[in-house]
Amino acid sequence: MENQELIKQVTERAQQWLTPAYDAETQAEVKRMLDNPDKTELIECFYRDLEFGTGGLRGIMGAGTNRMNIYVVGAATQGFANYLKKNFKDREQISVAIGYDCRNNSDLFAKKSADIFSANGIKVYLFDDMRPTPEMSFAIRYLGCQAGINLTASHNPREYNGYKAYWEDGAQVLAPHDKGIIDEVGKVKVEDIKFEGNPDLIEIIGADIDKVYWDQVHTICIDPDVIKRQKDLSIVYTPLHGTGMNGIPQSLKLWGFENVHCVPEQMVKSGDFPTVVSPNPENAEALTLAIKLAKEIDADIVMASDPDADRVGMACKNDKGEWVLINGNQTCLLFLYYIITNRKKLGKMVGNEFVVKTIVTTEVIRQIAEKNNIEMRDCYTGFKWIAREIRLSEGVKQYIGGGEESYGFLAEDFVRDKDAVSACSLLAEICAWAKDQGKTLYEVLMDIYLEYGFSKEYTVNVVKPGKSGAEEIQQMMVNLREKSPKELAGSKVTLVKDYKTLKQTDGEGNVSDMDMPDTSNVLQFYTEDNTKVSVRPSGTEPKIKFYMEVKGTLKSVADYAEADAAAAKKIEAVRTSLGI
């Protein structure tokens, strides 16, 4: 039976969108939903306001309060502008930087936002075309802005778009500003939005920022001599139709790589992403054309960036010459191993360096850091937390790299979000270093496992769309808290960490406090055999994520397939224990 009360509520909300405050096209779309006897779409579009969360907005494009459109984006921008004017009331001229990606409507949302900021007396630096997210972060710092926004839905499917809010340090907003902005956005009504811009306060930027940014990225090169020796390293790169085409080939060339092959079909800007099911470099399917080209030219490495060029995916040849994907945990592992090993080897360490990983990322990184006497910090998922660690130690300790299992890495501190431009450039250097020793990237990975221990990681995404899905996800977390598993795959759970309460409970039931900067809806389970399972609802997609890491034994490279299969079997047993 239909929920008549809910239908009544969404109908009343939708009818408010039939007023002259909304354009004719939007009104027609809303009227179509109201007239449809099937109220499913109407409910999905109007059952709630698309939440302006701690990172901004992300949702499906379309008409409605729960969709990405100029009115939802406009309210977010007006609220952000109001907060900036309160927070920087003594500043003569507040300024913001605005970037956007290749997605449908990203440029429209960016220009509307520029109009709204400028109508509120705020100076706007607007990129002339799509640019990588990290370049927008860089521009905030370089231009001395107080904030910035980026119109992107990162690696989400084509029907999505998003709005990321940044503060003056170039990082996505954290407390207290996140809550302050949310409060202001919540007060905005459509009639409050100042859509009529002031052109005198909008400055178009582009090539001038590109050059400074690329030059800065080049400064993180660790071993330029190895690149000179291996400048013919054969690289295949794809931007997956996105912003990486405006930065990554140029950066690779600046670093000295002369044999870069871009996938031509995917060097076409398109928010429809016509050559992939989903523009996510984490998915094997997205790298199909790149690997095809790599086989044709016998390349050394395949690399891909997502639509806003903050994540990097990669593939390389294994010991049998077969192309295999390198997962996000292995990616982070390779970067930090190379940075630590070669900075030490070349005498570039001064003793105050630190690296950062997120709590759901592989623990092998901890082994590398500890063995090399490098400080390693754990933080929450999301690069705003890595940026926070950089900010806390600015001028005191030197950040040399940090990453997360979801294919994001940041090797520098002049950007404060994950950066595929610098990551792809550094990845090429790692491959050049490996080739200089007669090795492949795959063999370097095996070297790491042999020295620091083997682990296998696997993430299960349980997708629960819509209103009912959100409620199911919430209930799953409640159930896990009330009835925590006592064992996983036959191994006793010896520690449970609850980041929502900041309490941890050991196997004997002893409870102690956890030291974290804020609470988060995350649970972690650790077992006697060093299995780690982390559970968290996604902050940007309708899913709950189960991150699993199991340990194994690897005595030689020849044993890898056997160790990997045994670990995969163990992961299946963990899934059975969790009922997923």
CATH classification at residue 480 = 3.30.310
In DSSP terms, 180 is beta-bridged to: none
Nearest to 248 by CA among 327, 302, 324: 302
**How far is residue 333's CA from residue 331's CA, in Å, rounded to a whole number?**
5
**How far is residue 303's CA from residue 9's CA, in Å, rounded to a whole number?**
48
Is 556 annotated in the active site? no
At residue 268, the pLDDT reads 98
Q: Are residues 350 and 304 in the same domain?
A: yes
Express each pLDDT in 227-265 by its tens digit. Answer: 999 999 999 999 999 999 999 999 999 999 999 999 999
Distances (CA, A) of 565 to 106, 362, 456, 461, 469: 43, 18, 10, 21, 33
Question: CB count, 10 Å around CB of 25?
Answer: 9
Q: Are residues 284 and 396 in the same domain?
A: yes
Q: Are residues 377 and 420 in the same domain?
A: yes
Cis peptide before 176 (omega within 30 of 0): yes
Q: Are residues 315 and 440 in the same domain?
A: yes
Which position has the token pair 């990082």?
171
At residue 56, the pLDDT reads 86
Q: Taking a C-beta distance cutoff of 8 angstroms, is the pair 173, 140 a contact?
A: no
**Domain-terminating residue out of 452, 469, 502:** 452
At residue 3, the pLDDT reads 81
Residue 552: helix, strand or coil by DSSP?
strand
**Domain-terminating residue out of 205, 237, 254:** 205
Rounded to two decimals, the pTM is 0.94
Question: CB count, 10 Å around CB of 1?
Answer: 3
Q: Taking a C-beta distance cutoff of 8 angstroms, is the pair 14, 48 a contact?
A: no
Total number of domains constituting the chain? 4
Q: What residues have CB less than 8 Å from 173, skipping those under 6 apart?
A: 54, 55, 165, 166, 167, 181, 384
Q: Taking a C-beta distance cutoff of 8 angstroms, is the pair 404, 357 a contact?
A: yes
Q: Considering 95, 113, 137, 154, which one is annotated as catalytic? A: 154
Q: Are residues 445 and 561 in the same domain?
A: no
Q: Are residues 514 and 437 in the same domain?
A: no
DSSP string, 307-339: TTS-BEEEEEE-TTS-EEEE-HHHHHHHHHHHH
Distance separating the N- and C-terminal Cα atoms of the chain: 29
Residue 402: helix, strand or coil by DSSP?
strand
Nearest to 507 by CA among 519, 491, 521, 489: 491
Q: Are residues 156 and 296 in the same domain?
A: no
**How far is residue 390's CA from residue 401's CA, in Å, rounded to a whole number?**
10
At residue 2, the pLDDT reads 57
Q: Are residues 235 and 307 in the same domain?
A: yes
For the stretch 286-289, contacts whose Cβ atoms lie closer than 8 Å and that sit 24 or more positions apart, written own/partner, are: 286/240, 286/313, 287/238, 287/313, 287/315, 287/325, 289/238, 289/263, 289/265
At residue 1, the pLDDT reads 33
Which position has the token pair 């004997």?
508
Structural domain harbouring 7: 1-47
Q: Taking a C-beta distance cutoff of 8 angstroms, is the pair 15, 45 a contact?
A: no
Q: Are residues 66 and 39 in the same domain?
A: no
Express each pLDDT in 402-443 by its tens digit. Answer: 999 999 999 999 999 999 999 999 999 999 999 999 999 999
Q: Are residues 408 and 476 in the same domain?
A: no
Distances (CA, A) of 476 to 2, 196, 247, 264, 309: 25, 46, 42, 44, 33
Q: Are residues 143 and 243 in the same domain?
A: no
**How far is residue 579's CA from residue 304's CA, in Å, rounded to a whole number?**
34
**Domain-terminating residue out of 143, 176, 205:** 205
Low-confidence stretches of the chain (pLDDT beneath 50): 1
Q: Are residues 437 and 478 in the same domain?
A: no
**Any idea what the CATH number is for the domain that residue 73 is in?**
3.40.120.10
At residue 524, the pLDDT reads 98
